Amino acid sequence: MHAQEDETLFLGSRHYFVLLVLLSLLGGLIGRGLYLQIYEQDFLTSEGGQRQIRIIETPAYRGAILDRFGTPLAISTPVDSVWVNPAEILENLEALKQVTQKLDLDYRATVTLLKQRADREFVYLKRQLEPEFAKSVAAGVAGVYLQREYNRYYPAGEVVSHLVGFTNIDDIGQEGLELVYQDWLRAQPGKRQVIRNRHGEVVEELAQLKPAKSGKDIYTSIDMRLQYIAYRSLARAIKYYAAKAGSAVLLDAQTGEVLAIVNQPSYNPNRRTSMAAGQLRNRALTDVFEPGSAIKPFTLAAAIDRGRYDLSSLIDTSPGYVMVSGYPIKDVRNFGKLDLASVLRKSSNVGASRIALSMEGSELWESFRDYGFGEPPGVSFPAESSGYLRHFSQWQPLDQATMGFGYGLSASITQLARAYAVIANQGRQLELSLIRKEAEVESGNEIARHVMKASTALQILQMMEQVVGPTGTAQRAAIDGYRIAGKTGTAKKSVAGGYQKDDYVAVFAGIAPVSNPRLVMAVMIDEPTQNGYYGGLVAAPIFQEVISNALRILDIPPDDLPGLKPKTGQGA
């Protein structure tokens, strides 16, 4: 009986003891809670905020590059990048393995990388993915998140790649206009303060700390209708003549705007893994060559401007060659006595040499400099070349003689086009531009420098018209219904110590229409190896195809229709 009473007493005491312990713990929790709420409130608020409040970037898009009418050449498209919080994702390696498989990443290498960066909260796994695909990768995986970015896309691909260039994965310009106008085009991301839940999702916007600012658009001078035609024509010619390379530039003769600028070989900026370094340069602006007979109009212009010759002057080219400092300068045959127009039409090297030697070296040098040779074209493009025009004080008589027909100096095809624009523009030299000029500039208010007498420019233009005529060297540049002027050039390529025997540069530069010059185009084909190599055969047809289309597209009226020509016996 006593034993039973003792056991009951013991159980009752234990019950009260357990109850006392539980009450003590509850009291401690309540006390701790009150203490934290009263004395540690600021600390807890700060700690909670640090775990939920984040400052995140608000994306902004890079400015677009457009042709003169707004056709996009470079635009930014939205993409998503996949990133992780290493501390979170490393707790779920199976999920990480699935993510790496979807992203085609090496699982072991990824784990090693994340362990090395375990002290960080943000590590990219893969950037700039198609949004829907990126969303499927991150869906339902703790520690895997998406960040909106913009990827640069080039709708015209290789057709305009040398002009536009490209950006890197961080949207920083690397080549072309993307590089030149980086500060103008670049986007300035904003910053905002948000609250995120444990899944990384934004649940509340707190404040905008810095507004996002997108880049500014650029309207280039390019007309994509003409750019496509020029690119297609050049590419076809390079293939047909099995040439090493080629370039062509089309200018608005009245404003100096570049309407088309194309090169071969080219590259597609949307496929950067396949780009080779040699394909990236804009050959029309960076590569130089000896232009050969395409220089002759400027030799004649310099002499006419200084009163050395006029249209009635005759140059004796007999017996078909001339010896200068012991070296022969030859024509294809003995042309006898030629007037200036015939020197151009027959492309006489002897005639051009005699004209060049009739002037002081300083006079010829100064004229060539005025026409733009030996100076960069001034379009503010990376690595644009100034060509080579040695100072006259270093010339020997042979140098001056060969300078007259395009040897001993070098120029880019853009420099050559700019020089021909002087002839087309009544002796005035306008600044070239790859950016669309404003309306007041296009209307003729731009300040232009006279570098050739207007009367001389007109005479040279009329002489070059004969070059494209039935007896000239550029018959393949003729266009029905239009008066065309131009000059061919065929030059051997120079090497150390002389010239290559069978490697040539074929050149043609021309103006249309003669009655009211609107367009100037220069074409260069480097090392044509089959189906011919003369400028009139290789380069002139490219001019003809592009300009005939350009005249139609730009609605430039014909100036050589039968109804426009004076009848026999009537005044011209």
With CA atoms as reference, report the closest residue to 359 among 392, 323, 327: 392
Element (DSSP H or E) covering residue 303: helix 296-305
Q: The tokens 């996009």 sit on which residue?
A: 72
Reference 353, options 327, 326, 322; nearest CA is 322
Residue 59, both tokens: 């994306």
- 99 backbone φψ class: left, alpha, beta (φ>0; ψ -120 to 50): alpha
Q: Are residues 487 and 467 in contact, defined by beta-carbon separation less than 8 angstroms?
A: yes
**Beta-bridge mates of residue 184:** none
Which helix H or strand E contains 234, and what residues bound it?
A: helix 224-240
Strand partners, 516: none
Two tokens, residue 69 = 């009418």
Q: Tell me which residue has tokens 């905020």.
A: 49
Which amino acid belongs to residue 539?
A
DSSP 8-state code for residue 157: G
Specify whether the CB–CB gap between 76 and 61 falls below 8 A: yes
- Positive or negative CA dihedral for 97, 100, 104, 109? negative
3-state secondary structure of 398: helix
Separation between Cα atoms, residue 153 and residue 385, nearest integer Å: 28
Give the long-range contacts of residues 93-102, CB within 8 A, separation 24 or more.
Answer: 95/141, 95/142, 95/143, 95/144, 98/141, 99/125, 99/137, 99/138, 99/141, 99/144, 100/125, 102/136, 102/137
Report CA 424 to chain centroid distance, whole Å. 26
Which residues contact residue 497 at a Cβ distance below 8 angstroms, ignoring those fewer than 6 apart?
A: none
Q: Which of 233, 266, 293, 433 is catalytic?
A: 293
Backbone φ and ψ for 29, nearest 5 degrees, come out as -65, -45
Distance CA 286, CA 106 (A): 42
Pick the closest to residue 361 from 403, 418, 328 (CA basis). Answer: 403
Quote the CA–CA distance of 131 and 147 in Å, as a whole number.
10
Contact 392, 362 (CB under 8 A): yes
For 419-482, give the DSSP string: HHHHHHTTTEEPPPBSBPPPHHIIIIIS--EE-S-HHHHHHHHHHHHHHTSTTSS-GGG-BTTB
- Read off the DSSP letter of residue 565: S
Neighbouring C-beta atoms of residue 319, cutoff 10 Å:
11
- Clarify whether 293 is annotated catalytic: yes
CA distance 115 to 153: 35
- 298 touches 370 (CB < 8 A): no
Residues belonging to the active site? 293
